[in-house]
Amino acid sequence: MRIDNGMKYLITGHKGQLGRLLYDYPSGCEHIGVDLPEHDITNAQAVADLVLGQQPQAVINAAAFTNVDAAEANPDLAYAVNTHAVGHLARACHRLDIPLVHISTNEVFDGSGDKPYDEWDQPRALSTYARSKQAGETAARFYHDRVIVVRIAWLFAPGGDNFPAKIVAAADSHGALRVVDDEFGNPTYAPHLTSALFTLLDRGAPPGIYHLTNDGMCSRYEFACEVLRQSGREHIPVTPIAHTEWQRPSQPPLRALLANRAAAALGITLPSWQEAVAEWVKLEKQKAKGKS
């Protein structure tokens, strides 16, 4: 994206599910995108050269090692990308005195609480991925005082590799599904999140921690049923199962729900998760039509 007003944002992980939308968003500024293999944010010197060379107005870090199960077998890489590289970005942003918007996760919480977590609640991550993300939040805020940490959950974007896409694909190939009904979360639709992130920047939001997800919560089972219903697949039988019947190398927190207090106080909220599913389904249908 090229816009000639001299203002630019640096977006890391711009080929990823969220990064692609951030990169393409019409913010009114030029967007510089960096991702593997050309740019590796685990290289401290390369990060410093990049940020100081580009002189952006802000950095948005959407790069991460996001394969939660693979992180159990690759802790060094998970910490290199999700913790130490965030520190490199924060140090570079500190030298320019520019904001760093860093994306984090609901999984920093253990999910044992009986109500949604506020931004100021104490994290207690359970998995390697989640611990590396929790440490990333700390590293960013240790090195720099202008960090906006944005925790999100259950991210999905049009064309992405995500839960609704997997549900639709499994429904079409198997004709029946089993879905966990005792894990709860807040779906976060990447286009809604993207617009909220740029609004935070535009409004000069104070540094700190923000929770940004679509409004409302659901179980994996309810999320799947809504996707099937809205995409015209309500005839597909879905059996609710306990998380213990769906074995994974890493166990996600069962109720790591996020309450949006800080952004809401600035007037920034996202539509309901059901509206988000409707928009996702509409775009997926348009894409399928375009292909046929």
Active-site entry in 9, 117, 129, 143: 129
Select the span of 50-58, 150-158, 169-177, 260-268 touching ligand NAP (CB under 6 A).
150-158
Q: Which of 18, 92, 108, 140 binds ligand NAP (CB under 6 A)?
A: 18
Strands (E), the chain: 8-12, 30-34, 58-61, 100-105, 147-152, 155-156, 177-180, 184-185, 188-189, 208-211, 218-219, 238-241
Q: Does 183 help bind ligand NAP (rule: CB under 6 A)?
A: no
Select the span of 24-32, 56-64, 166-174, 214-222 touching ligand NAP (CB under 6 A).
56-64
Rounded Cα distance, 98 and 57, in Å: 6
Select the span of 9-17, 173-181, 197-205, 281-289 touching ligand NAP (CB under 6 A).
9-17
Nearer to ligand NAP, 143 or 156 (CB): 156
Residue the block writes with tokens 């995108």: 33
How crowded is residue 228: how many other Cβ atoms within 10 Å of its Cβ? Answer: 22
Q: What is the CA radius of gyration of the chain?
A: 19
Rounded Cα distance, 225 and 233, in Å: 9
Q: Does 86 help bind ligand NAP (rule: CB under 6 A)?
A: no
Q: Does 180 help bind ligand NAP (rule: CB under 6 A)?
A: no
Q: Which of 154, 184, 189, 221 binds ligand NAP (CB under 6 A)?
A: 154
For 77-111, the DSSP string reads HHHIIIIIHHHHHHHHHHHHT--EEEEEEGGGS-S
Least distance to ligand NAP, CB of residue 292, Å: 27
Nearest to 154 by CA among 14, 275, 17: 17
What pairing do the DSSP bridges indicate for beta strands 218-219 and 184-185? antiparallel
Q: Is position 25 annotated as part of the catalytic site?
A: no
Q: Does 17 help bind ligand NAP (rule: CB under 6 A)?
A: yes
Active site residues: 129
Binding site for ligand NAP (CB under 6 A): 12-13, 15-19, 35-36, 39-42, 62-66, 81, 85, 103, 105, 133, 152-155
